[in-house]
Structure 1
Amino acid sequence: MSNNRLKGGEFLVKDLTWENIFTPEDFSEEQKMMLESAKEFIDREVWPKKHQIEKKDYALIEDLMKKLGELGFLGISVPEEYGGLGMGFVTTMLVCDYISGATGSLATAYGAHTGIGTMPITLYGTEEQKKKYLPKLATGEWFASYCLTEPEAGSDANSGKTKAVLTEDGKHYKITGQKMWITNAGFAELFIVFARIEDDKNITAFIVEKSQAGDGFSLGEEEDKLGIVSSSTRQVFFNEVLVPVENMLGERNGGFKIAMNALNVGRIKLGAACLDAQRRIVSNAINYSSERKQFGVSINTFGAIQEKLADMAVATFASEAGAYRAAKDIEEAIAENVSNGMPHNEAELKGIEEYAIEASILKVWISDMAQISADKGIQIYGGMGYSKEMPMEAAWRDARISRIYEGTNEINSLLSVSMLVKRAFQGRVDLMTPAMNVANELMSIPSFDVPDYTELFAQEKEILTNLKKAFFMVAGAALQKFGADLEKHQQLILRASSILIEIYMAESTILRAEKISKSNSEENAAVSIKFAKLQLFDSVEVIKKNAIAGIISFTEGDEQRMMLSGLRRFTRYNDFPNVVQLKTEVAEFLIKENKYSF
């Protein structure tokens, strides 16, 4: 696959075939064993205790984390020489996926510990720091927390006011400041803390051990939250806490870089953490709709319910497709960097950074879909969905935070476009050539030939190509008009981002379905094709809506008419799918399986 791997952002300008996309159907036997092990733990230890978890049982989450440590799940991505399992990026995504499905409280604790808590030391720590801390974190002897957010520093992470002052003897830094919304704070021993030294431009990262912090270290009360109620979330206060100089993580002024790279990992892992939650939402909704009788029949016989089941399953299938496509790309990039002589930690940093655009896309789309699926799930349950006795109420509340942490979805949407533009200016992705080609095409007379769609997904791939043209038309014209001032037009960028996101997710879904159709059972192939057709139809509608709003916002007269005409060309179906029939057939498949079975 590495010879055909697209670089980050290149999905817009280069075509990929089904042979060169990784999907969940490609899991190795070892990965399937890890999947089953994680799922078995959740089904045995967590799912039966959901009611207890929804009553702010912080001790239970800590106990479950200890058990995960004993089973090795906390050290999946920690190198073997430091007590971990040293597994590849796809496997770390897979474990994060299946550990996170039952409850957001455990998902958040697990993600904070293994991701933003442990990864900064793995990637930036000195050899001494790695040897000292990683074995404890990999086994669950210690738990980690990540202290970045402050009352006045949320999305603007580098504006934190926490200070680090070097002592006169030069042996310690005295850290003073306040951090808030700190996950795992109630039971963590190790804290990754970001503070500013003197008047440095950027913050610096430090490793703080709670047991060594003294009286200057204190915690606020547990936050009373909408969801993830048993995830420990507290304020952390530092009052001249002494931290040895050797506990600086990375280099001085380098904390912002560490924070951003940790969030790149966190974003794609957060997408993974929403996947099994989506599967369980769909499966529970199918089960309930089969059992619930109204007017003498199961409610899953009603078209309104069937449409919701189909929508939820399509979103889940697409989410899986995008997440594991990107995960394998990252894994391949890391391996390629290592083969070129790069140290593994640097190779991992570069590999993850390469796909930062895709990480933001996945964070936004999957977290949105998880929330929407939970909402549809409540609606299927009806009045019972509003009851805490049923799983949907907690699923909806837990899903809501996913659109906020690891960078809000708005921030990530803006980032996806700004990073793409930046790479274009750096010469890493050629956006200018296709943008110029689209501009020329708008001036040409469109073809009225009736195309041949006998080959599987022939029309869908043609539409995908045209959707990419729509992005270049809107984003190219906007960039030409506003130049560097484009960043001031956030609503316009958000429209462009929506187009970008839908293209990646629709393409991932179509390629996964095509791969299944070439190598899987006839029934699975048939329903996956329906998933792909439905996802593309939805993506076209989202893209059309956002492109129209974007075009009208900065054009007028002949230019506007020409671009709107081009948009109609680029979003045109020659042969519309029968969406109602497809959704009915997908729902019938789900009802027969009585679960989401992919």
Structure 2
Amino acid sequence: MEAVEKDILRGGQFLVKETKAEDVFTPEDFTEEQQMMKEAVMEFNDREIIAHRERFEKKDYAYTEECMRKAGELGFLGVAVPEAYDGLGMGFVSTVLTCDYISSGTGSFSTAFGAHTGIGTMPITLYGTEEQKKQYVPKLATGEWFGAYCLTEPGAGSDANSGKTTAVLSEDGKSYKINGQKMWISNAGFCKLFIVFARIEDDKNITGFIVENDPSNGITMGEEEHKLGIRASSTRQVFFNDTVVPVENMLSERGNGFKIAMNALNVGRIKLAAACLDSQRRILTTAVQYANERKQFKTPIADFGAIKMKLAKMAADAYAGESATYRASKNIENRIAMREASGNTHQEAELKGVEEYAIECSILKVAVSEDVQNCADEGIQIFGGMGFSEETPMEAAWRDARIARIYEGTNEINRMLSVGMLVKKAMKGHVDLLGPAMKVQEELMGIPSFETPDYSELFAEEKDMIAKLKKVFLMVAGAAVQKFGPDLEQHQQLLIAASDILIEIYMAESAILRTEKNAKRFGEDAQKVQIAMAKLYLYNAVNIVEDKGRESIISFAEGDEQRMMLMGLKRFTKYQNYPDIVDLRNEIAEKVKSENKYCF
């Protein structure tokens, strides 16, 4: 077990330790069982969801519920649930894979599926007593019942622990009475069970409860919310008025609700990233098919450089998103297996496994939710005026994508969390940031090397560039921590800029490692376009890092320190051999064009 532990980087360590290409998991590593699951899920998605897209756009809530029931009958709602509770008991990668390929038909179904399997079912699976799990999880895993998650309130959004909903113990000590108002509750219109967060007396932290949805028990609902997108996702306010809940329905311990909420969101974040992936693939496929058919000036618009530029970026972003999401999901799966082997229960192992990679989960949530929005936006642009029409699927894709930047913690919150969690891990000694940051400091003071490095091997310069981008983060974060100490969290714009550097490092490195691994086993010729996508993604990432690095440095450094750091930034973002970016884009676009789809 010791050897296995050494091979698995801890969460956040990607920044300070080298990851070898052979150690990352890629979509090309799916097992036969995972391939079969992928095909089954895609077939369900095509048949039940994409074929009836207009029903979702017309707010057919009953059809969303019907599709959820069918997904339950096929076992898709119980992929992550242990077999002991009527689930399929599959690993974390399979859970993420299912979420990926079931989510692209419409954001309405994707939201219902994610809310039920993630924040509706999972808190009981991971925090429930044996009695609670036996009573509720089989019903949720099979789709007999549906779940919802009641955390947000009119005055408690990002500050989840500030909720005003109360739980008061009865005189006989046998039940709690819950009073309060929850809002933006996904699946509220058809769920049978709520995970409700309320405060007992003056407790510092909220407490979780399992509450059955019984209108005769003081539970009422607002009307369905009319939303920009995800139109057939049931979203209502829920009011609790002296709702009686048996004491045995408390989830975990008193005051543990905030922890449950945060850990549920960690899993929700990586699943949300996965839920955006196939949407990107399908948006790009739809866009390139239109671009191949649409002629202007007697030429298919797919042949124009302006369109090729868009197609290439859409493809590279989707490819990097896949690479990073499956890399992290396998890390989580390995960590869970390691903890189970060392004697943890499945509950403990899964909780700690996901918590370990909370930084990566936040990174993925931000990066992929923004990429799917940009992809849909460019999809509309490629369609031109037709893209703005409800007759084409692009405008619905754009509207559905918009929510992804808001739920599971806004992207602003996740950006600040990713850096904040990394600094906390460093303080606990889980990630050595101080040592590498000091080395970067020394390098800045020293004389730069004028030797020309050997970049003859595939990705030699790109991997060197990734190492240099990590130095940018360590330089900026190290100096900021020194200057502001515990007050760093007050400097939100600086944290957001630093997190953008962190995000680009993880995403670009994931794309390069995936491609390097596959080039070694399938040959470089077979991975020619993937190599181009990894290089294009990195080039764009370097520009972002340079921009955000400069913004960070000039926000807190002055005089000689500022000049030295800016010189370091220039050195760390400079290519020895700049890639021909137009050639890379053309190569990617030509491949997508000739295949008439996202084909990687």
- State the partner residue of 2:24: 21
In structure 2, C-alpha distance between the alignment counterparts of 1:242 and 1:367, rounded to whole Å = 39
CA contact 2:230–2:400 (8 Å) conserved in 1: yes
In structure 1, C-alpha distance between the alignment counterparts of 2:525 and 2:280, rounded to whole Å = 22
In structure 2, C-alpha distance between the alignment counterparts of 1:102 and 1:40, rounded to whole Å = 11
Q: 1:257 aligns with which of 256, 259, 262?
A: 259
- State the partner residue of 2:303: 301
CA contact 2:217–2:244 (8 Å) conserved in 1: no
Q: What amino acid does structure 2 have at the position aligned with 1:235? A: Q
State the Cα deviation string for residues 459-489 of structure 1 (Å, max 9, x = none). Answer: 0011111110110111100110111111110
Q: What are the residue-to-residue correspondences of 1:63-462 with 2, within 5 Å?
A: 63-211=66-214, 214-462=216-464
CA contact 1:118–1:134 (8 Å) conserved in 2: yes
State the Cα deviation string for residues 306-330 of structure 1 (Å, max 9, x = none). Answer: 1100000000000000000000000
State the Cα deviation string for residues 257-276 of structure 1 (Å, max 9, x = none). Answer: 10000000000100000000
CA contact 2:178–2:245 (8 Å) conserved in 1: yes
The alignment covers a number of residue pairs equal to 597
Query: How far off is 1:523 after superposition?
Result: 4.8
State the Cα deviation string for residues 417-436 of structure 1 (Å, max 9, x = none). Answer: 00000010001100000000
State the identity as a percent. 66
Query: How far off is 1:172 after superposition?
Result: 1.0
Q: What amino acid does structure 2 have at the position aligned with 1:188? A: C
Q: What amino acid does structure 2 have at the position aligned with 1:490? A: Q
In structure 1, C-alpha distance between the alignment counterparts of 2:150 and 2:280, rounded to whole Å = 29
CA contact 1:285–1:377 (8 Å) conserved in 2: yes
- State the partner residue of 2:490: 488
SS in 2 for 1:274: helix
In structure 2, C-alpha distance between the alignment counterparts of 1:494 and 1:263, rounded to whole Å = 20
In structure 1, C-alpha distance between the alignment counterparts of 2:598 and 2:296, rounded to whole Å = 23
- State the partner residue of 1:464: 466
State the Cα deviation string for residues 52-88 of structure 1 (Å, max 9, x = none). Answer: 2101110110000000000000000010000000000
- State the partner residue of 2:533: 531
Whether 1:504 aligns to 2:506 is: yes
In structure 1, C-alpha distance between the alignment counterparts of 2:525 and 2:406, rounded to whole Å = 38
Query: How far off is 1:522 after superposition?
Result: 5.2
Query: How far off is 1:519 after superposition?
Result: 1.7
SS in 2 for 1:402: helix
SS in 1 for 2:405: coil
In structure 1, C-alpha distance between the alignment counterparts of 2:520 and 2:43, rounded to whole Å = 30
CA contact 1:516–1:528 (8 Å) conserved in 2: no
Q: 1:561 aligns with which of 560, 563, 571?
A: 563
SS in 2 for 1:407: coil
Over the residues paired in the alignment, what is the CA RMSD in angstroms?
0.9
CA contact 1:463–1:573 (8 Å) conserved in 2: yes
In structure 2, C-alpha distance between the alignment counterparts of 1:150 and 1:389, rounded to whole Å = 36
Q: 1:39 aligns with which of 34, 39, 42?
A: 42
CA contact 1:171–1:245 (8 Å) conserved in 2: yes
Query: How far off is 1:5 after superposition?
Result: 1.5
CA contact 1:2–1:336 (8 Å) conserved in 2: yes
In structure 1, C-alpha distance between the alignment counterparts of 2:312 and 2:62, rounded to whole Å = 38
In structure 1, C-alpha distance between the alignment counterparts of 2:29 and 2:294, rounded to whole Å = 36
Q: What amino acid does structure 2 have at the position aligned with 1:564? A: L
Structure 2: 5+ residue stretches without partners: none
Q: TM-score, normalised by structure 2?
A: 0.99
SS in 1 for 2:199: strand
In structure 2, C-alpha distance between the alignment counterparts of 1:307 and 1:515, rounded to whole Å = 27
Query: How far off is 1:176 after superposition?
Result: 0.2
In structure 1, C-alpha distance between the alignment counterparts of 2:315 and 2:472, rounded to whole Å = 27
CA contact 2:12–2:359 (8 Å) conserved in 1: yes
Q: What amino acid does structure 2 have at the position aligned with 1:341? A: G
Query: How far off is 1:452 after superposition?
Result: 1.4
In structure 2, C-alpha distance between the alignment counterparts of 1:129 and 1:41, rounded to whole Å = 31
SS in 1 for 2:149: strand
Query: How far off is 1:520 after superposition?
Result: 2.5
CA contact 2:186–2:233 (8 Å) conserved in 1: yes
In structure 2, C-alpha distance between the alignment counterparts of 1:539 and 1:524, rounded to whole Å = 25
In structure 2, C-alpha distance between the alignment counterparts of 1:84 and 1:21, rounded to whole Å = 28
In structure 2, C-alpha distance between the alignment counterparts of 1:224 and 1:443, rounded to whole Å = 58
Q: What amino acid does structure 2 have at the position aligned with 1:29? A: E
CA contact 1:205–1:254 (8 Å) conserved in 2: yes
CA contact 2:91–2:333 (8 Å) conserved in 1: yes
Q: What amino acid does structure 2 have at the position aligned with 1:351? A: G
Query: How far off is 1:524 after superposition?
Result: 4.0
CA contact 2:166–2:200 (8 Å) conserved in 1: yes
In structure 2, C-alpha distance between the alignment counterparts of 1:364 and 1:465, rounded to whole Å = 22
In structure 2, C-alpha distance between the alignment counterparts of 1:295 and 1:416, rounded to whole Å = 48
In structure 2, C-alpha distance between the alignment counterparts of 1:516 and 1:43, rounded to whole Å = 29
SS in 2 for 1:446: coil
State the Cα deviation string for residues 292-351 of structure 1 (Å, max 9, x = none). Answer: 111111110100001100000000000000000000000000000000000110000000
State the Cα deviation string for residues 553-594 of structure 1 (Å, max 9, x = none). Answer: 011111111000000010010100000011001100111111
SS in 2 for 1:241: strand
SS in 2 for 1:68: helix
Query: How far off is 1:450 after superposition?
Result: 1.5
In structure 1, C-alpha distance between the alignment counterparts of 2:165 and 2:291, rounded to whole Å = 52
Query: How far off is 1:215 after superposition?
Result: 4.6
CA contact 1:2–1:332 (8 Å) conserved in 2: no
In structure 1, C-alpha distance between the alignment counterparts of 2:458 and 2:524, rounded to whole Å = 14
SS in 2 for 1:118: helix
CA distance 1:168–1:57, change in 2 (3 Å): same
SS in 1 for 2:567: helix
In structure 1, C-alpha distance between the alignment counterparts of 2:96 and 2:492, rounded to whole Å = 31
SS in 2 for 1:194: strand
State the Cα deviation string for residues 403-461 of structure 1 (Å, max 9, x = none). Answer: 00000000000000000000100011000000000000001111112211110000001
In structure 2, C-alpha distance between the alignment counterparts of 1:8 and 1:382, rounded to whole Å = 43
SS in 2 for 1:310: helix
Q: TM-score, normalised by structure 1?
A: 0.99
Query: How far off is 1:17 after superposition?
Result: 1.0
In structure 2, C-alpha distance between the alignment counterparts of 1:501 and 1:379, rounded to whole Å = 26
In structure 2, C-alpha distance between the alignment counterparts of 1:137 and 1:473, rounded to whole Å = 48
Whether 1:12 aligns to 2:7 is: no
SS in 2 for 1:545: helix
Query: How far off is 1:533 after superposition?
Result: 0.5
SS in 2 for 1:201: coil
Q: What amino acid does structure 1 have at the position aligned with 2:122? A: M
